[in-house]
Structure 1
């Protein structure tokens, strides 16, 4: 098959392109800008466009399909040409469903934790040499690509994102997958540029539960009240299987999970991650992995890239970076690090980087999110606010929203870097939370500063 990618450079898009090339498809693509690591990975496989930009002559009637990425606009010249010629146009999730129509589709959804849960499942299956197709939102240790597609595997494991499918398909991605086996980790309002009210956001999860194939199943976090209500009120004829955080303990900076064989040390930590682990266990059991085999494998799981990733450690200090940006995840991550290292002072830094987090109305959702920290910092770029065409956010608004005593707010990258690198890290835990990089912070330098 001949497939052309419009906006091939995205994190998800370039991985799908690599997976299809590996499968033997003839892949071409375009984009107006491509950053690392996408650029090098595409180049290594001969898929990097020779020139950046949009070229309608790349679209022709011999193409079997065009895959349209979210980075493209509705007036994209290549998209308009494809529409004119009647070439089949897929969104990313639409194409994944097309590739998995004859497989058992396992879809992991929820406002938070879905990448970690998907990663845990894939780690366990890989540990036991069980080959499945998959799509996950982070690079995993032991996996070359974030997407893997074959004609032979019976299962496909998909991370189910609730964001829009493409510029011309405004449905949430996870509505397109029609799972046989589903998991929902929780509901916490996000993507307010698309879902302006909480009720509108919750509705997307109701639609997802109703999209599960009849006779299928949904495994859900019963500790989330709104999610529990969504699942239990659904009239879809599916099995509904609740899970909850398992028993665990923390001793000397090590988390022990209670198992039928006794306490077992694990690499991940924090109540939210133990909750994620419980969900992953039930999905793996649905896929044929027994409980003890799950525990054996999960003991070696170190986490997904950028999810509670340890970036530096010495005898008296430790530093983590985490993708957390939504209020619920920021609170869970901050609490987790404090619980793991109760004797150390916790310096928690948060970059407000997403559309939702920089919205003056949404800011109040962060109340108390950094309370577990001994010292808290919020960084944001006024330029990012302007680029997103949002109303100006002031330092006072941020302080009022978080309601954290002595909260420090930085807007200048160099000032934040100076503050961070002049810290005395003796007996301290550092947590850097962001989906960005604090205006150009090199995370590798943290370990040098800690010594």
Structure 2
């Protein structure tokens, strides 16, 4: 029996891989110095929750076939030191995914934005067309028990992340997947803490393309000029399939998309989602799904969690919550909402929550990002700055960096709530964008803002 040990098993994707391998029949153990929900309950249910928290070198035995190292583990971890002493095989998460999928068709979906949604669309379409496949995706999706699945299926569909693989393997995760079919959705630098300059960031994608073997498939967004230049310069050895916006119409807030004679009404909207959908269709075509079969499936796709997630709606107002926080994503989400409801006012609230977005030097990347909104609001929490040990931000500086004199800036949640309660939502939509929680905003109470409740 294959024996695997996870160092830092409590990670959001790590614990999902641990469960997937246990389901496959492997003997799985793990350790961590802290495990939070939902990993805690998930691991307990799968009977692989460590008996105690903390690191224990005795857990590392010579009979282990693999040790999988999470991002949270450091170089001086006693279990890692012991594994090295015993010359065991040590893998980062993506390296191990590759080991498990050497004999499969590997699909890797990379790019600065749209990875999760594009991956989710491919998974949704393959599932409804009864194709067997494994997967790795960065969010919980409706219809899938977990976010990682490893079986004996002939195909694996992976969301391919450009962040470093582990504490001892600083190269980006997507460099280890070696796909036969790849998607690149676009390049927009938004990780100043990981990639100090745009050129370093861009080079990671160049390496990804160069590493692919001759004749393999690269599906790329040809509406992204930077990406087109990169693919032209480095992808000559590949089968290149460009994609752009598919033919579509919008009627009464519903988008219909068509390929050839086949068409479908969608539950998602926005140019960014139409681009994601086109990429997903091309992947599915490569895996034997026809345009008509793809469209029949995608008509029931509701979106990935926290991507333009519906909070509340009536006939005059829709309230959305979106995970967007990087400048390019903020722009795309707002333009989509405005485009879908051109006759409605747009009230947009962006929380600065990530290391990059709270960095005064990086803030200039947001210049013009909120221009689409009729009323634009930026919120940041003093608490988030303290945790990240970053200097305070002046509201005037934020307004200047965004290039809007009429920007409303709040760092107190109660004041933000009072401001939102004072707005008129008759023929207006509210869009809240953040990877955080607005210092504990109760989203369920936002329904009270709808005009039908007044």
The TM-score, its normalising length taken from structure 1, stands at 0.95
The question of whether the paired residues in 2 share the 8 Å contact of 1:119 and 1:136 is answered with yes
Partner residue of 2:253?
253
| CA deviation after TM superposition for structure 1 residue 46, in Å | 1.8
Match of residue 18 from structure 2: 17
Q: CA RMSD in A?
A: 1.7
Kept in 1: contact 2:190–2:327 (CA 8 A): no
Secondary structure of the equivalent of 2:120?
helix
Other-structure match for 1:349? 349
Alignment partner, residue 53 of structure 1:
54
Pick closer, same or farther for the CA change 1:183–1:428 going to 2, 3 Å.
Answer: same
Distance 1:95 1:287, change over 3 A: same
Tell me how far apart the structure 1 counterparts of residues 421 and 401 of structure 2 sit (CA, whole Å): 27
1:118 Cα deviation from its structure 2 partner:
0.5
State which drifts further: 385-394 or 17-26: 385-394
Counting only pairs closer than 5 Å after superposition, residues 420-431 of structure 1 correspond to structure 2 as 420-421=420-421, 423-431=423-431
Counting only pairs closer than 5 Å after superposition, residues 79-228 of structure 1 correspond to structure 2 as 79-151=80-152, 153-228=153-228
| Cα drift, residue 384 of structure 1 | 2.1
User: For 1:389, what is the secondary structure of its paired residue?
Assistant: coil
Q: Which range moved further: 409-418 or 95-104?
A: 409-418
Please name the residue that 1:363 is paired with.
Answer: 363
C-alpha displacement at 1:251, in angstroms?
A: 1.7
Residues 350-385 of structure 1: per-residue CA shift (max 9 Å, x gap): 111112111111111111111111111111123323
Q: 1:27 maps to what in 2?
A: 28
Contact 2:348 2:430 in 1 (8 A): yes
Task: Give the 3 Å change call, closer, same or farther, for CA 109–397 of structure 1 in structure 2.
Answer: same
Deviation of the 1:192 alpha carbon? 1.4
> 1:431 & 1:41 partners in 2: Cα distance?
32
More deviation, 440-449/109-118: 440-449
Deviation at 1:394, TM superposition (A): 2.2
The aligned residue for residue 275 of structure 2 is 275
Gaps of 5+ in 2: none
- Quote the offset at 1:110 in angstroms: 0.3
SS, match of residue 166 in structure 1 = coil
Post-superposition offset of 1:395: 1.6
Contact 1:123 1:301 in 2 (8 A): yes
Matched with 1:411 is 411
Question: Do the aligned partners of residues 72 and 443 (structure 1) sit closer, same or farther apart at CA in structure 2, a change above 3 Å counting?
Answer: farther
**1:131-182 superposed Cα distances (whole Å, 9 cap, x missing partner):** 111101111111101111112x211111110000001100000011111111
Q: How many pairs were matched up?
A: 450
Query: Would the aligned equivalents of 2:264 and 2:296 in 1 still touch at CA under 8 Å?
Result: no
CA distance in 1, matches of 2:295, 2:68: 39
Matches within 5 A, 1:367-378: 367-378=367-378
1: distance between equivalents of 2:269 and 2:126? 21
> Residues of 1 paired with 2:444 and 2:26: CA distance?
38
Q: Is the 8 A contact 1:249 1:255 kept in 2?
A: yes
